[in-house]
Chains A and B, each alone.
Chain A
Amino acid sequence: MKKTKAVLFSILIILFFFNLSFPQENLSPLPPTEVRASDTPNDNGHSITVTWKLSGDDGADKKNVVAYEILRSDSPTGEFIVRGMVPAGNNTYQDRGAKEKEDKNYFHPHKDFYYKVRAKTLNSYSESEVAGPAQAYGEWFHLGKLPVFVGTVTFTIMVLAFISLARKGKEFYVRPLAGIDAVDDAIGRATEMGRPILYILGLGSAADIATIASFTILNRIAKKTAEHKTKIIVPCNDPIVMSVAQETVKAGYLDAGRPDMYKEENIFYLTSMQFAYVAAVNGIMLREQTATNFYLGKFYAESLILAETGSVAGSIQISGTDEIAQIPFFVAATDFTLIGEELYAASAYLGREPLLLGALKAQDLAKAIVMISLALGALAASFHLGFFLKLFTVQM
């Protein structure tokens, strides 16, 4: 028992909170009540959540309780050690254990733990009753993510359903898209002028969805350039992106029946550093006198440097990105811009492949559902119906 006191005492010293020489009313506050400890739901099994009812002396006017300290022990009568502290006014605490089994702070599954909560004032404190036992264990499904799960399943079914409709030969209508119609003209122009086409995949890695969407577009454009016998230059900023771009362009030339015209050295790597890459691409634009520049993928601050240099060179420029902060610059400085989702739709448009168009239809259906939810949700919120919001609330 003496040891316990010594430990507690030294903790008090360490925790900057206590200045024992401090002269003030020396009354203990009311203790926290209804302390509960239980496994934290929806976690990996390394934490226990403690909740309590605030001390009667915790409130704006009372200015009494400053913080709560949470203590843990292996047995109800054993030594309690301080696990953490939260400011007054809070009534929950998550006691997290270590992940490694060797760590002494590891929560072995199904081991019992006991908790106490201590309400602290300036120079005094009071403790709650012991709560517990509580055990920590991991869950196999995160209930807070149920809305996402429903969304995932619904959307997947929609996409697969439309694709299978497309497989069965159903034709889908999609409205014309200005940026897409411009692609053919732009390639034609380069052919007439006898100058090359520049295709920039952006700064994304091969793992970025926008970059992958851009690969599909590159494949279609490469096919067209092969048909027109126009040179296409693809400087890359990531080695994997370069490798994939080489495969993609080669496939485009194969599709066009001109594999002999494919030149690997035109799809090359420069450097992975943003502005060094841009400096070099600037040079390529002016020295190769590219007739048409495509910027499709992930772009950051360099978007405007590229677009302005391209416009100095007099190139026709078609851009598209899902990076929202850069769209304004592309809109202002290039001839056509695929805004956000249009970039993803472009691959389906260019190839006119029924399967890809099917997926586009699923997107539209999902969009309709979102719009209806927005309208209904706003109405529900206007009448103070909270349940609707809950349908979309995701706990992390």
Chain B
Amino acid sequence: MRRQLPILIVFVSGVFMVIQYFIPHESFEFIYEYAMDWIIIIGIFAMLLGLWSLTRASVSKVQAKAPGWGFSVMTLVGLATMLFLGFYKGNKSIAEGTFFMDLFWYIYTPIQATMFSLLAFYIASAAYRAFRVRTVLATILLVTALIIMLRLIPLGPISGVNQWLASWILTVPNMAAKRAIWIGVGLGATATALKIIFGIERAYMGKD
């Protein structure tokens, strides 16, 4: 019951989904649509597990007065505020102009955009560290990155050539390499999917 039944569920649902792909008939389409909705619904229930884990971890840090426990208080305050504001007026709680959305616009959005923008700094420092003529591979990486970056920089007469070279690299050899990766990923993923369906790869099920 504990291990065989889940493996059976995986097998049956997996095989169904594969077969379903080849059958256009509406009866299969019907089950397919329900199955997809079930998956979403399971995900929604699981959200409670997430909130539970986050709350428990923060509360236990506060209780133990672990280093930085004050910051865990901030997390709990932020979480509780959003939950309260998001529910206290029913489904009107998250309409535009509510305090809930104010917090979204003035706290969530700027932090999110700033975290994202850190990439501008990191892409520079990563380029500095990685692009050295250390090995052949690193040199290829360096040279192509330079050619592409130089397309924005006026170089007088070479600009035309560089411009052309940059777009050629992007559309030809770049495409070839990406296809090789895509095909490889395709084979790896399909093989893994098969291993899952046939119950060979089952580490994700855990053990008793």
Contact = CB atoms under 8 A, between A and B. Distances in A.
A touching B, CB within 8 angstroms: yes
A213 B22 contact: no
B204 interface: yes
Interface size class, chain B = 35 or more
Contact of A324 (B60, B182, B195): B182
Contacts, number: 205
B29 interface: yes
B43 A240 contact: yes
Nearest to B202: A216
Nearest to B25: A138
A275 B189 contact: no
B112 interface: yes
Interface stretch (A186-194, A242-250, A376-384): A242-250
B7 to A, nearest CB: 14
Interface in B50-82: 50, 53-54, 57, 60, 68
Q: Which of B42, B127, B203 has the most CB of A within 10 A?
A: B203
A239 B192 contact: no
Contact of B23 (A140, A207, A343): A140
A333 B126 CA distance: 6
Contacts of A344: 185, 188-189, 191-192
Contacts of B60: 265
Given A140-B25, A145-B22, A341-B187, A242 B49 contact: yes
A359 B187 contact: no
Contact of B201 (A45, A212, A366): A212
Nearest to B115: A275
Interface string A243-281: 110111011001100000000010011111111101100
B194 A244 contact: no
> What is the predominant secondary structure among interface residues of chain A facing chain B?
helix
Given A269-B49, A359-B195, A142 B204 contact: no
Nearest to A280: B75
B199 to A, nearest CB: 10
A340 B185 contact: yes
A90 interface: no
Interface in B1-58: 18, 21-27, 29, 39, 42-43, 46-50, 53-54, 57
Interface in A126-159: 138-142, 145, 148-149, 152, 155-156, 159
A160 B189 contact: no
Contacts of A163: 198, 200
A363 interface: yes
Nearest to A213: B192
Interface of B: 18, 21-27, 29, 39, 42-43, 46-50, 53-54, 57, 60, 68, 108, 111-112, 115-116, 118-119, 122-123, 125-127, 129-131, 141, 178, 181-185, 187-196, 198, 200-201, 203-207
B43 A212 contact: no
A339 interface: yes
Contacts of B129: 311, 332-333
A82 interface: no
A76 B163 CA distance: 62
B191 A331 contact: no
Contacts of A359: 191-192, 194-195, 200
A301 B18 contact: no
Interface in A84-98: none
Interface stretch (A23-31, A169-177, A302-310): A302-310
Contacts of B49: 239-240, 242-243, 269
B54 A270 contact: yes
Given A145-B21, A239-B49, A242-B49, A46 B189 contact: no
Given A271-B54, A275-B112, A324-B182, A212 B23 contact: no
A83 B36 CA distance: 31
Contact of B21 (A138, A148, A269, A271): A148
A69 interface: no
A324 B175 CA distance: 12
Contacts of B195: 159, 356, 359
B206 A239 contact: no
A242 B53 contact: yes
A384 B21 CA distance: 32
